[in-house]
Chain A
Amino acid sequence: MRTPIKQILIFTFILPMILYGKPQKKELNFFCGSAVKVPMEEIIQKYQQKTGVKINVIYGGSGTLLSQIELSKKGDVYLAGSPDYIIIGENKKLLIKNTDKIVSYLVPAIIVPKNNPKNINSLQDLGKENVRIGIGNPETVCLGLYSAELLEYNNLLEKVMSNIVVFAKSCEDTAMLVVLNKVDAIIGWDVFETWNPNEVKWIKLTEPEIPRISYIPIAIPIFVKEKKLAQDFINYILSKEGQDVFKRWGYISKADEALKFAPKATIGGEYKLPKKFYDILKNK
């Protein structure tokens, strides 16, 4: 039998060259927190079409992405799920100081399955008997940390912790808990409803219950190759065109709009898990 040398050559060398060999002019490595994956996909597509710059996007948890930046010594733009990770990144000297900008604001909410089987209508209801709650892991997921803060602030930490059956490993995993009907409620962001409008709905928290409004920051890592290009991409995300996409997906782009939900809340800042949190976990 004759060896099909020609075909083998085409498949091993020529075909990949045609498929992947086109020299890309410019590209950016974008480490993007998955809390904004949905609108960001659209923005990236638009930006690429407009400028021809290729965006290599890596979605993940804010901390995981920082670890990846540190280990690979790569990264042109970094978007985190909360300002806490900008502080960590700056302390670890991974991000250029004062390059961070606010992309969008996040309002906390209780998210329940569409039919709300346990009739949960308030933060207090999370402490009712026989209710199964899920939150993000407070040590690693910014949403989880925020959930712990919210419960402690409202003196519900002990009561609700006994109903918490699972810590999810990421923001989207937390959302999936309620989409798959695995828990009766989660503490999430209001935008979770726009991600899965047919499966879940959000229960608004009352104004005094919200201690802090979180936001999504974007910054430039120290490993940036073309700072000007990275800045241009950030500017596009912050431009009206970019912000319109966020708006369409239910994200809030202005501080005063976010503050309508909780006029007395602070914006940004840090929260540390109290010792009490670990004591409750150990004794559960």
Chain B
Amino acid sequence: MKNKTFNFLLFFFLGFIIVFFLILIIELFGYLNFTTTKNLNFSRIFWSIRLTITTATISSLIATFFAIPIGYLLSRYSFPLKNFISSLLYLPIIISPIALGAMLLIFFNTPIGTFFEKYFFRVVFEVPAIVFAQFVIIIGMCINLTKSVFDYINPEYENISKTLGATSFQTFFYITLPMAKKGIISAFLLTWARAMGEFGATVTLAGATTFKTETLPVAIYLSFASAEISTGITFILITLFIGMTILIILHSLNNKLFYDKNT
């Protein structure tokens, strides 16, 4: 009986949030007005979708690439000022995205920023600005997620590997990383989803230029900014559909991989 109550409570909390989210989505349909949305330009929507998925994928891949060694370092090693450094990584979470976007704009006015733009490629107001803004927004979150993945792997496995003669590199690539794989993929997925919805820093650093830097969140903003609610809602539903579909597919693939490995 007590178990039943416990399970009921668990599902109650889940149900509460799910019902709330479903209401949020369902109510949108009430504002859809096909007489105004039929003017939607489909080639433009596809253009935005492609831009959003491409930039979010690139930025979250780069973020994961950085987050794996940094997360591992923070999980396993202690060094001076570690607390300060770990807290600094929360910078993008503490500061609002628009403020961060402004900081990035200013950064590209500094000698390092201007040097980079002169000798490598232009960032500000160009497509790389979207990737850059998304990367800065998600990197802290990605590092913290990967750090907790490594925290849950017992260092004893690594010690045994090393006592058997494996180098640190071999231990990391053949022991730790395979064990962390599922967690790292989950971290990647979460950061990818966050990157896909990124708006504030992107719009500040990359602008809201039609057919250039108009990602889905920017398109949603622009629709509301021109009082076209129905078009904005169509964009929200498209973003939701794409995001959910990709996340569901990848989650089930990830679970399958993990399940196969353990049977």
Contacts and interface: CB of A to CB of B under 8 A. Distances in A.
Interface of A: 61, 63-64, 66-67, 70-71, 85, 88-89, 92, 134, 137, 139-141, 165-170, 173, 180-182, 278, 281-282, 284
Contacts of B203: 169
Interface stretch (B18-26, B68-76, B178-186, B206-214): B206-214
A140 B109 contact: no
Nearest to A68: B224
Interface in B170-210: 203-204, 207-210
B209 A139 contact: no
B227 A85 contact: yes
A183 to B, nearest CB: 8
A182 B104 CA distance: 12
A255 to B, nearest CB: 27
Nearest to A169: B208
B97 to A, nearest CB: 13
A137 B208 CA distance: 7
A64 B225 contact: yes
Contacts of B228: 63
A72 to B, nearest CB: 12
A63 B124 CA distance: 26
B221 interface: yes
Contacts of B56: none
Given A137-B210, A167-B208, A169-B225, 10 more contacts: A63-B225, A64-B224, A64-B227, A71-B31, A89-B227, A139-B210, A139-B222, A166-B207, A167-B210, A182-B109
B229 interface: yes
27 contacts: A63-B224, A64-B225, A64-B227, A67-B225, A67-B229, A71-B31, A85-B227, A134-B207, A137-B210, A139-B210, A139-B226, A140-B222, A141-B225, A165-B207, A165-B209, A166-B209, A166-B213, A167-B208, A169-B218, A169-B221, A169-B225, A180-B106, A182-B105, A182-B109, A281-B211, A281-B212, A284-B211
Contact of B225 (A61, A70, A71, A181): A61
Contacts of A70: 227, 229
Nearest to A71: B229
Given A92-B227, A140-B225, A169-B203, A67 B125 contact: no
A166 B125 contact: yes
Contacts of A169: 203, 207-208, 218, 221-222, 225
A61 B203 CA distance: 15
B232 interface: yes
A132 to B, nearest CB: 8
Nearest to B43: A282
A281 B232 contact: no
A85 B227 CA distance: 9
Pick from A71, A173, A182 the residue with the most CB of B within 10 Å: A182
Contact of A168 (B124, B207, B227): B207
Interface in B213-263: 213, 218, 221-222, 224-229, 232
Contact of B227 (A66, A173, A181): A66
A271 to B, nearest CB: 14
Contacts of A168: 207-208
A181 to B, nearest CB: 6
Contact of A182 (B124, B213, B222): B124
Contacts of B224: 63-64, 67
